[in-house]
Amino acid sequence: MRKKVYDALKACFKFAVIQYDMERSPMLGIDPPVKDEIEEIYVYNEAEIKQIIREATKTYRNGSYVYFNGPAFVLILHTGLRCGEVLGLKWSDYDSKNQCIKVRSDVEYIEERNEDLEKTGKQIAILQNTPKSKSSIREIHLNNTANSIIQMLYSRQKKMKIDSEYILCTKNGKFVTPGSFRKTFGKIVENTNVQRAGIHALRHTFATQMYHKGVEVKKISAILGHSSVKITYDTYIHLWKGALDTATDVLDETFKLDDNFGMKS
């Protein structure tokens, strides 16, 4: 019930901002209610990831991609961006010299409402210049793979003479809607042997791989744009439990007892 109230208020204030009735939503900076149950999430294994990357970057004989924005899913795997965040990226957010990207907007669906703020039953995709929380506004370092994808997208836009402010765009230069993006990912998954899961599974996979590679949870949380490390722990603790169970083993050598310990009793 609390989550529904939170979502309803957030949608109403978001609509008011879009209609210029308010400058800023009072919901910004307010964390959603904590769920009573652990969210069921899926993380792709390395074999599945290889299949997804292979399919997402598949090309025709002329070199063009089968899925126009297919490489964007690989970008998510290397940055942990949310679906709406990657769709909201602009060229003005990209720093090629320092190889980083600023996350400060996203594309989301909102419920269309009439003048009386009553739902019309339709949803519209909008670009928001105010992400879901203050912590969502962040700067992410791009590894070489992520940077090369963005460079490719830039070169393609120039080659196709697409005039767009968006890093990911349609052939007409418009931002890609979440529905279209999810549909593309659905086709990619259908053409592989991997588990059917949403785009958010790529973000979960990114976080899990980072953890298993030894990256501190605090850093992972900052990259993901979580408002607190607690949210990161609450989301992934059941997935990372196996690694935590043996975490103290690293101290065996550092704080080891005398070899004769226990023999003197």
Q: Any idea what DSSP says for residue 163?
A: -
**Six-digit token pair at 208?**
């899990």
- Which one has a higher pLDDT value, 248 or 213? 213
Measured distance CA(27)–CA(81) in Å, rounded: 21
**Are the CB atoms for 85 and 76 separated by under 8 Å?**
no
**Which amino acid would we find at residue 93?**
D
Q: Which pLDDT belongs to residue 9?
A: 64
Question: Alpha-carbon distance 167 to 91, whole Å?
Answer: 6
**Model confidence at 38: pLDDT above 50:** no
Provide mean pLDDT across the span 60-69. 95
Instruction: Evaluate if residue 89 carries a pLDDT over 90.
Output: yes
> What is the residue type of 122?
K
- Write out the H or E segment, with its range, that includes residue 167: none
Q: Which tokens in the block code for residue 35?
A: 């769920």
Confidence class for position 14, pLDDT limits 50, 70, 90:
confident
Secondary element (H or E) of residue 126: strand 119-128
Residue 51, pLDDT > 60, answer yes
Question: What is the token pair recorded at 201?
Answer: 């599974």
Q: What is the pLDDT of residue 32?
A: 66
Higher pLDDT, 4 or 254: 254
Each residue's pLDDT tens digit, 113-141: 556 555 555 666 666 666 556 778 899 99
pLDDT of residue 121: 57
Top-confidence residue, 247 or 4: 247
Q: Percentage of the chain with pLDDT > 70?
A: 69
Q: Which of 18-27, 194-203, 234-243 has the lowest mean pLDDT?
A: 18-27
Q: Is the pLDDT of residue 219 over 80?
A: yes
Q: Are 75 and 94 in contact (CB under 8 A)?
A: no
Selected from 3.40.50.720, 3.40.50.1980, 1.10.443.10, 1.10.260.40, the CATH number assigned to the domain covering 39-243 reads 1.10.443.10
Q: For the chain, what is the mean pLDDT?
A: 83
Residue 92 pLDDT level (bands cut at 50, 70, 90) = very high
Stated as kind and residue range, the H or E segment containing 115 is: none
Residue 163 and residue 96 in contact, taking contact as beta carbons nearer than 8 Å? no
pLDDT single digits (tens) 143-166: 999 999 999 999 999 999 999 999
